[in-house]
Amino acid sequence: MTSADDVREIENLVRERADAVGLRQSEVLLSREHPDVLRFPLLPPTAARGRASTAAALSAWFTGYADGPGYTVHDIEADVVGDLAWCAFFYHVTGVLASGDEVDMWVRSSLVYRRIDGVWQIVHSHESVPFDAGTGQALISEPPPPIA
Protein backbone atom coordinates (compact mmCIF):
# COMPACT_ATOMS: atom_id res chain seq x y z
CA MET A 1 0.00 0.00 0.00
CA THR A 2 1.15 3.49 -0.81
CA SER A 3 0.44 6.27 1.65
CA ALA A 4 0.07 9.76 0.23
CA ASP A 5 1.86 11.08 3.33
CA ASP A 6 4.82 8.78 2.67
CA VAL A 7 5.02 9.90 -0.96
CA ARG A 8 5.01 13.54 0.13
CA GLU A 9 7.80 12.75 2.60
CA ILE A 10 9.96 11.34 -0.22
CA GLU A 11 9.20 14.34 -2.44
CA ASN A 12 10.21 16.60 0.44
CA LEU A 13 13.47 14.69 0.84
CA VAL A 14 14.27 15.46 -2.79
CA ARG A 15 13.56 19.16 -2.21
CA GLU A 16 15.66 19.06 0.98
CA ARG A 17 18.44 17.54 -1.14
CA ALA A 18 18.22 20.37 -3.66
CA ASP A 19 18.35 22.98 -0.92
CA ALA A 20 21.33 21.24 0.69
CA VAL A 21 23.28 21.23 -2.59
CA GLY A 22 22.62 24.96 -3.04
CA LEU A 23 23.94 25.60 0.47
CA ARG A 24 26.82 23.11 0.08
CA GLN A 25 25.61 21.28 3.17
CA SER A 26 27.46 18.02 2.67
CA GLU A 27 26.53 16.84 6.16
CA VAL A 28 22.83 17.03 5.34
CA LEU A 29 23.35 15.09 2.11
CA LEU A 30 25.52 12.47 3.80
CA SER A 31 23.04 12.00 6.65
CA ARG A 32 20.58 10.70 4.05
CA GLU A 33 22.96 8.13 2.57
CA HIS A 34 22.92 4.57 3.86
CA PRO A 35 26.41 3.47 5.00
CA ASP A 36 26.46 0.86 2.22
CA VAL A 37 24.81 2.96 -0.51
CA LEU A 38 25.44 1.72 -4.06
CA ARG A 39 25.94 4.69 -6.39
CA PHE A 40 25.98 4.80 -10.18
CA PRO A 41 27.30 8.37 -10.55
CA LEU A 42 27.12 10.83 -13.43
CA LEU A 43 30.92 10.98 -13.70
CA PRO A 44 33.40 8.13 -13.11
CA PRO A 45 33.74 5.77 -11.36
CA THR A 46 31.12 3.55 -12.99
CA ALA A 47 29.94 2.49 -9.53
CA ALA A 48 30.87 3.22 -5.93
CA ARG A 49 29.88 1.82 -2.58
CA GLY A 50 29.55 3.50 0.78
CA ARG A 51 28.98 6.85 2.41
CA ALA A 52 32.72 7.68 2.44
CA SER A 53 32.80 7.58 -1.35
CA THR A 54 29.86 9.97 -1.45
CA ALA A 55 31.68 12.33 0.93
CA ALA A 56 34.74 12.38 -1.33
CA ALA A 57 32.60 12.93 -4.44
CA LEU A 58 30.66 15.80 -2.84
CA SER A 59 33.86 17.46 -1.72
CA ALA A 60 35.34 17.25 -5.21
CA TRP A 61 32.09 18.46 -6.75
CA PHE A 62 31.75 21.55 -4.57
CA THR A 63 35.47 22.40 -4.85
CA GLY A 64 35.18 22.27 -8.63
CA TYR A 65 32.75 25.20 -8.71
CA ALA A 66 33.87 28.82 -8.42
CA ASP A 67 30.20 29.84 -8.54
CA GLY A 68 27.46 27.36 -7.76
CA PRO A 69 26.49 24.64 -8.26
CA GLY A 70 22.94 25.88 -8.72
CA TYR A 71 20.65 22.88 -8.45
CA THR A 72 16.91 22.73 -9.08
CA VAL A 73 14.75 19.61 -9.22
CA HIS A 74 11.89 18.99 -11.65
CA ASP A 75 9.14 16.44 -12.32
CA ILE A 76 9.55 14.37 -9.17
CA GLU A 77 7.83 10.98 -9.35
CA ALA A 78 7.78 8.90 -6.16
CA ASP A 79 6.27 5.71 -4.77
CA VAL A 80 6.45 4.07 -1.36
CA VAL A 81 5.57 0.62 -0.03
CA GLY A 82 6.22 0.04 3.64
CA ASP A 83 9.83 0.96 4.33
CA LEU A 84 10.96 1.00 0.70
CA ALA A 85 10.62 3.97 -1.64
CA TRP A 86 11.88 5.13 -5.00
CA CYS A 87 11.77 8.41 -6.81
CA ALA A 88 12.87 9.73 -10.19
CA PHE A 89 13.35 13.32 -11.27
CA PHE A 90 15.47 15.68 -13.34
CA TYR A 91 17.88 18.21 -11.96
CA HIS A 92 19.28 21.29 -13.60
CA VAL A 93 22.83 22.20 -12.63
CA THR A 94 24.24 25.62 -13.35
CA GLY A 95 27.32 27.57 -12.35
CA VAL A 96 30.90 28.40 -13.22
CA LEU A 97 33.69 25.91 -12.72
CA ALA A 98 37.04 26.78 -11.17
CA SER A 99 38.39 26.51 -14.75
CA GLY A 100 36.06 29.31 -15.82
CA ASP A 101 33.84 27.02 -17.89
CA GLU A 102 30.11 27.55 -17.53
CA VAL A 103 27.89 24.62 -16.61
CA ASP A 104 24.26 24.32 -17.77
CA MET A 105 23.31 20.67 -17.54
CA TRP A 106 20.19 18.53 -17.17
CA VAL A 107 20.61 15.24 -15.34
CA ARG A 108 18.31 12.27 -14.74
CA SER A 109 18.25 10.96 -11.19
CA SER A 110 16.75 7.83 -9.63
CA LEU A 111 16.94 7.25 -5.89
CA VAL A 112 15.92 4.26 -3.79
CA TYR A 113 15.30 4.81 -0.10
CA ARG A 114 15.03 2.39 2.82
CA ARG A 115 13.38 3.55 6.07
CA ILE A 116 15.56 2.32 8.91
CA ASP A 117 14.58 3.09 12.50
CA GLY A 118 12.16 5.64 11.11
CA VAL A 119 14.76 7.46 9.00
CA TRP A 120 14.74 7.34 5.20
CA GLN A 121 18.20 6.61 3.79
CA ILE A 122 19.36 6.31 0.18
CA VAL A 123 20.44 2.73 -0.55
CA HIS A 124 20.88 3.22 -4.29
CA SER A 125 21.31 6.20 -6.59
CA HIS A 126 21.70 6.41 -10.34
CA GLU A 127 22.47 9.70 -12.09
CA SER A 128 23.13 10.11 -15.79
CA VAL A 129 22.63 11.75 -19.13
CA PRO A 130 21.99 9.83 -22.37
CA PHE A 131 24.60 9.86 -25.11
CA ASP A 132 24.60 10.21 -28.89
CA ALA A 133 25.35 6.81 -30.42
CA GLY A 134 26.80 8.44 -33.54
CA THR A 135 29.32 10.75 -31.90
CA GLY A 136 29.71 9.08 -28.51
CA GLN A 137 29.12 12.47 -26.87
CA ALA A 138 27.19 12.74 -23.62
CA LEU A 139 24.05 14.85 -24.10
CA ILE A 140 24.34 17.16 -21.15
CA SER A 141 22.09 20.02 -22.23
CA GLU A 142 18.88 18.20 -23.10
CA PRO A 143 15.98 19.57 -21.10
CA PRO A 144 13.59 16.82 -20.07
CA PRO A 145 10.77 16.05 -22.50
CA PRO A 146 7.17 16.24 -21.37
CA ILE A 147 6.50 12.78 -19.95
CA ALA A 148 3.17 13.18 -18.14
95 and 65 in contact (C-beta within 8 Å)?
Answer: yes
CB neighbours of 84 closer than 8 A, spacing ≥ 6? 112, 113, 114, 115
Residue with Cβ nearer its own copies (70 or 86):
86
The stretch near its own copies (CB under 8 A) out of 4-12, 13-21, 27-35, 73-81 is: 73-81
Q: Which of 7, 28, 30, 48 binds its own copies (CB under 8 A)?
A: 48
Q: Which of 7, 55, 88, 96 binds its own copies (CB under 8 A)?
A: 88
For residues 14 and 67, give the distance between their C-alpha atoms in angstroms, rounded to a whole number.
22
Q: Is the dihedral of CA 43, 29, 81, 48 positive or negative?
A: positive
State the residues that interact with its own copies by CB under 8 A. Answer: 1, 38, 40-49, 77, 79-86, 88, 90, 106, 108, 110, 112, 114, 123-124, 126, 128-133, 136-140, 142-145, 147-148
